[in-house]
């Protein structure tokens, strides 16, 4: 099962990250779910993620493993094409300072980057990559 990136669907920064991943991933590595979608809410419940947590963090769900914050970002970077995958090298930085930087951006992202009225709608060629209402949730 491909990993799922669970993201805040109304956050402009989060949506730009999804677009970036779609453009730069090494292959069709990820599936995506907005935390506000029914599929996203089911995944959150299955993974034991509170709705409040999703508003502050991106998650990567794969094979029963849940990564968040800077660790999730680094797991995503590891699956991107060169040179973007080099960002995975930041894994040598201890998690507390990485997560502090992540938290600073997360707390200010709506103010700095804005929000959308509705969640991102995938383009026709991306629809099979996004978990939505009609898509069954993958098993964690």
Three-class SS state of 131: coil
State how far the alpha carbon of 137 is from the alpha carbons of 4, 43, 49, 77, in Å: 10, 7, 15, 24
Residues ≥6 apart with Cβ < 8 Å to 63: 1, 140
Please give the model's pTM, rounded to 2 decimal places: 0.87
Q: pLDDT for 17-68, tens place per residue?
A: 999 999 999 989 899 999 888 999 899 888 888 876 666 678 898 988 999 9
What pLDDT is attached to residue 112? 96
**pLDDT confidence band for 137 (50 / 70 / 90):** very low
What pLDDT is attached to residue 54? 61
Distance from C-alpha of 21 to C-alpha of 3, rounded to nearest angstrom = 13
Q: pLDDT for 69-118, tens place per residue?
A: 999 999 999 999 999 999 999 999 999 999 999 999 999 999 999 998 87
């Amino acid at each position: 099962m491909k990993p799922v990136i669970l993201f805040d669907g109304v956050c402009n920064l989060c949506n730009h990250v999804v677009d970036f991943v779609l453009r730069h991933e090494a292959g069709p590595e990820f599936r995506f779910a907005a935390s506000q979608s029914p599929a996203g809410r089911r995944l959150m419940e299955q993974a034991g993620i509170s709705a409040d947590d999703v508003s502050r963090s991106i998650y990567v769900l794969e094979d029963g493993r849940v990564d968040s914050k800077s660790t999730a970002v680094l797991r995503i970077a590891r699956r991107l094409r060169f040179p973007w995958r080099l960002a995975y090298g930041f894994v040598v930085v201890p998690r507390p300072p990485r997560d502090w930087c992540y938290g600073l951006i997360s707390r200010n992202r709506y103010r700095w980057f804005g929000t959308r009225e509705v969640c991102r709608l995938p383009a026709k060629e991306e629809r099979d990559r996004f978990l939505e209402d009609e898509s069954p949730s993958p098993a964690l």
